[in-house]
Structure 1
């Protein structure tokens, strides 16, 4: 919950895409705390009664709504917006989908698939993935950003120099995010909330879930920042480390191909050892497995690794 927020920005105050001309919902002073009510990334198009066939009817123009924007008083280009991520209030429902044409292995998984999650929004106990696994939950916001200086509307999907759809699972409670400001007031928005995600979000979706977010804002004046940075309060994988990992790799001169090979290898391993169907292994890897760069200096080949936590099967 958000402790004494100065303002609550409700979910109907949302927009699609970044645009410096969007009027701010509220003006916030540095040091103030704000509660944001966020929709999940389908904007309510996927519900507890949805099936995979429904994905074809989803309107792509409604993907990744973000709540906001807010105007931070005194923010100017060249300043840094300091965002303290304080708390999340989850809804208890989420979904993971394989969307045709989207994801690291889209060519290998052309058919739609949908998994619905029902989790305890208070205890956040690990949530069952059929009879195969139990996934630890760690809510975070996938999209946190400010408006770019360039005029016009810019897609919400790609991450940007000013933040946006970063999908960094460690932007969770206790983390402080720093964003470069390009326009007066910063014009900050947040959304694409997740109950859990692995590093890489390899199938293109995590546990997409409507979650309220509590943030505190401040300014660092006249300190140009090239790209977003953040500070974590402690270890970032404690909820997954307890039983170690199974790890597959991809080795070669192309890092993207190495990433694909590492993930494909993990899918094969999960199918063989855990009895999962390939599509289920792919989606499970997206919500709790970690894609990492292990080596980039031993030319001409680089090493990508995919880490799957064993704790989900215990």
Structure 2
């Protein structure tokens, strides 16, 4: 339990999709600190003993649950909700931190190349967050964060939680971690804030569509900025954002061409091939591993007609 928290939003207080007609789970004043108990993105459909057969039968109507919504007193359309990330605590399973990474057919940057389900279960120390073991030779550095975080939209009705939106949502920004501050546009009275989709680690791009999906307790502090009129979310970090990956340098592959999406796909495919050739990995395992720790970056976007996208894989995973 968070001793500094004013409120707790329990795991049962969750919903699927954004809807400004939802009844708030809690009404709080600006300045409040709240502990959110968040499900993993499967809403408990997967667990430490799940197999690849369970991936094939996932109910997508129960994907990405978010805890909330929370009504912030005094929040009005045109304001901004300022959210400070105070901390993340894994919810242990059988005494260990736990998470999963899957290739879900039809989902991910290279969905056309990886059409069969696949699953990796992760185990880690929830207290120290030491790197999580990948097979016998690799360890992925951990950096807990929340993938889905946002306010309700002005438009009525139920809106899918899958795509990111102008008020936040499923943004999957790895750097929304402890110490960061996020500002979200408010479009309805009270903001109706929700959060979920917690991860133990992810690379920038989340290329296979999943990271190390892990249930977490998330502690957030809320403030209100009147009349901010933000067009979209923005955030600040408290310092460097890749220290957990930088120590040993990177292996980097590139994609080059006139289309950024095609170049991103080429860079990732190249890295999958590189890991298979140098590490003897199966292609789908290389794809899933890269999703948890590798970063897509736009290296050049001015030298027309071709742009350069690079994929950075941290050597610290294997060294």
Alignment TM class, shorter chain as reference: over 0.9
One of 171, 178, 193 as aligned partner of 1:173: 178
TM-score (norm 1): 0.99
Please give the alpha-carbon distance, in whole angstroms, between the structure 1 residues aligned to 2:24 and 2:33: 16
Deviations 1:34-63 (A, max 9, x none): 000000000000111211111122111000
State the superposition RMSD in angstroms.
0.8
Please give the alpha-carbon distance, in whole angstroms, between the structure 2 residues aligned to 1:78 and 1:132: 51
Please give the alpha-carbon distance, in whole angstroms, between the structure 2 residues aligned to 1:191 and 1:2: 18
Q: Does structure 2 retain, via aligned residues, the 8 Å contact 1:2–1:87?
A: no
Quote the residue 1:234 is aligned against: 239
Quote the residue 1:41 is aligned against: 41
Q: Moved runs in structure 1, 4+ residues, more than 4 A? A: none
Listed as ranges, the gaps of 5+ residues in structure 2 are 92-96
Quote the residue 1:134 is aligned against: 139
The number of aligned residues is: 314
One of 288, 291, 296 as aligned partner of 1:291: 296
One of 159, 162, 171 as aligned partner of 2:167: 162
Quote the residue 1:13 is aligned against: 13
Q: Indicate the SS of the match to 1:293.
A: strand
Quote the residue 1:209 is aligned against: 214
Instruction: Give 1:3 deviation, angstroms.
Output: 4.1
Please give the alpha-carbon distance, in whole angstroms, between the structure 2 residues aligned to 1:128 and 1:275: 17
Quote the residue 1:193 is aligned against: 198
Quote the residue 1:148 is aligned against: 153
Instruction: Give 1:83 deviation, angstroms.
Output: 0.2
Query: Is the deviation greater in 291-300 or in 138-147?
Result: 291-300
Q: Indicate the SS of the match to 1:44.
A: coil
Quote the residue 1:90 is aligned against: 90
Instruction: Give 1:134 deviation, angstroms.
Output: 0.3
